[in-house]
A and B are shown apart, each in its own frame.
Chain A
Amino acid sequence: MPSIISVSNLSKTYASGFQALKPINLEIRQGEIFALLGPNGAGKTTLISIICGIVSPSTGAVTVDGRDIVRDYRAARSMIGLVPQELHTDSFESVWATVSFSRGLWGRPASPGHIGKVLKALSLWDKKDNKIMTLSGGMKRRVMIAKALAHEPQILFLDEPTAGVDVELRKDMWGVVRSLRKSGVTIILTTHYIEEAEEMADRIGIINKGELILVEDKAELMRKLGKKQLTLHLAAKLETVPPNLAAHRLTLAGGGSELIYTYDTRGERTGITALLSDLNKAGVRFRDLHTTQSSLEDIFVDLVRRGP
């Protein structure tokens, strides 16, 4: 897939001297869902804000479909829709008015048909005449998405789109995001919910302390960094791991009733056959076994702890 956003040596140092972003290079591919993960204050929102024109970069450049975001800001911004993290809304406006305002702001001609379609897709149609101040937090979040979609963007930034949203609404939003992607919209989302990234993203970027630690295809990332564990439920408890099994680096767990073997899925050999043979030789019997794989959350926590 060709890249639609190209970030080169982008950095941001605020007037206070705080370096929010160290030089970052990143390519976002057309039509993908890219999830940017990172702890609070990692620089996710700063990066998005620079691309969208809200924050000025200190160094570097960003192009959107080949258009520089500073020199050719009109063309670049006209392709982008942004759903910010905070619920910034015009409390006294109606849903319809505020969404129509957003479309006008992007220079698009009035289109009641499109606005209606967006509101229906986000289950806001029956609230269209309500003032925003009367809506719940979840509904306001939907309004923010509707505003971002009002001008039919080709790229959508979702900064923590499901923060503070209940499970049902979150799954609804995932559905909306998937259908947008199906229609060709490129989606960049930041999230604290790792399961959200795991569920939806094609590629993952992990940012920590202003540095982009890793950018990887989600499946590849999980394959590369995902550890698998084999847990053996023993027939009889052990006090220590038998010495002739030391080479397998087993961990005794469950008060001596479980042996855990960690192996790398990338390896040519997992070592399971040898382990089972050695267990037999050592006379260790087991009742049951099961395997587990690291979740994206485990990978994320591990990477962030290790630091850049």
Chain B
Amino acid sequence: MNWRAVQAIYAFEMARTGRTLLQSIISPVISTSLYFVVFGAAIGARITEIDGVSYGAFIVPGLIMMMLLTQSTANASFGIYFPKFVGTIYEILSAPISYIEIVLGYVGAAATKSIILGLIILATAGFFVPLHVEHPVWMLAFLVLTAVTFSLFGFIIGIWADGFEKLQVIPLLVITPLTFLGGSFYSISVLPPVWQTVSLFNPLVYLISGFRWSFYGISDVGVGISLGATLLFLALCLAIVWWIFRTGYRLKA
């Protein structure tokens, strides 16, 4: 393994976060705080509790998960797309590094940023609602697994995209709507039966449900199924990344 190369890519990507602190960290924190004000205070005044948890506290895992999904995808997709866009990818492709090392560097940095962001949002939430984490180890496990999985997903988007529009289209038109419809702000048990069934086709329901279980011990679907769905998506992303590098798709002529 060329660990120095992994470290170089990782440090380079983390340094980019440092340069864009406002965009990378502060902006999501402000957005989350606004969600707390709008959903927690305004709607929370009408919906007092869900499954015995105050509404403000109930939405915390959903909010963290929403930021985790969008930021992991955005960070990783931009991380690999930008060298393609400016042409510096030539250096990555001509360096004595394996595809695994490239992925470790880019995806590792994107996932790290998302995890840090998730923890910052968790701390921010503590200012608005009393926090309680019933299964902290599982909470961290879901946090890390989701960050890695969606960083891989973002990496795939970054390779696939051949323009800034494509870079934005999946996060904006797929991930964000699915997160909103995946039970970030409600329990799917409050939906009519038909919509409950429809919701089960939304893969993000399983991620949000599992993450919420780690906080309060309540979930829309079994935690084992949530974990299985997360691992399945991780495996799918790994398979696609493996195929990309095997074929050189959108990387090599």
A interface residues (Cβ-Cβ under 8 A, vs B): 14-15, 49, 52-56, 73-78, 80, 82, 84, 86, 88-92, 97, 101-109, 147
Q: Are B8 and A104 in contact (CB under 8 A)?
A: yes
List 9 tightest A-B contacts by C-beta distance, closest first: A104-B8, A88-B87, A77-B96, A74-B96, A52-B94, A107-B2, A78-B96, A105-B95, A107-B4
Q: Are A108 and B96 in contact (CB under 8 A)?
A: no
Bound-state Cα–Cα, A53 to B2, Å: 17
Please, which residues of chain B bring their CB within 8 A of the CB of A80? 94
14 intermolecular pairs with C-beta atoms under 8 Å apart: A53-B93, A54-B90, A54-B94, A74-B2, A74-B98, A77-B95, A78-B96, A82-B91, A84-B87, A88-B87, A88-B88, A92-B16, A92-B19, A105-B95
Bound-state Cα–Cα, A102 to B93, Å: 12
Bound-state Cα–Cα, A243 to B248, Å: 68
* B7 interface contact, C-beta 8 A: yes
Please, which residues of chain B bring their CB within 8 A of the CB of A109? 4
Bound-state Cα–Cα, A45 to B252, Å: 14
Please, which residues of chain B bring their CB within 8 A of the CB of A90? 86, 88
Report the count of interface residues on B (CB-CB < 8 A). Answer: 27
Bound-state Cα–Cα, A91 to B9, Å: 16
Main secondary structure of the interface of B (DSSP, over half): helix
Q: Are A105 and B97 in contact (CB under 8 A)?
A: yes
* B15 interface contact, C-beta 8 A: yes
Please, which residues of chain A bring their CB within 8 A of the CB of B98? 74
* Given contact pairs A92-B19, A106-B5, A147-B91, A73 touches B96 in the complex (Cβ within 8 A): yes
From A56, A78, A105, A107, give the contact of B253 (CB < 8 A): A56
Q: Are B94 and A55 in contact (CB under 8 A)?
A: no
Residue of A nearest to B248 (CB): A56
From B11, B16, B19, B253, give the contact of A55 (CB < 8 A): B253
Q: Are B96 and A89 in contact (CB under 8 A)?
A: no
From B19, B91, B248, B252, give the contact of A105 (CB < 8 A): B91
Bound-state Cα–Cα, A103 to B253, Å: 25
Residue of B nearest to A73 (CB): B96
* B172 interface contact, C-beta 8 A: no
Q: Are B87 and A105 in contact (CB under 8 A)?
A: no
Q: Mark B32-68, 1 if CB is under 8 A from A, else 0.
A: 0000000000000000000000000000000000000
Bound-state Cα–Cα, A86 to B9, Å: 22
Please, which residues of chain B bring their CB within 8 A of the CB of A101? 8, 12
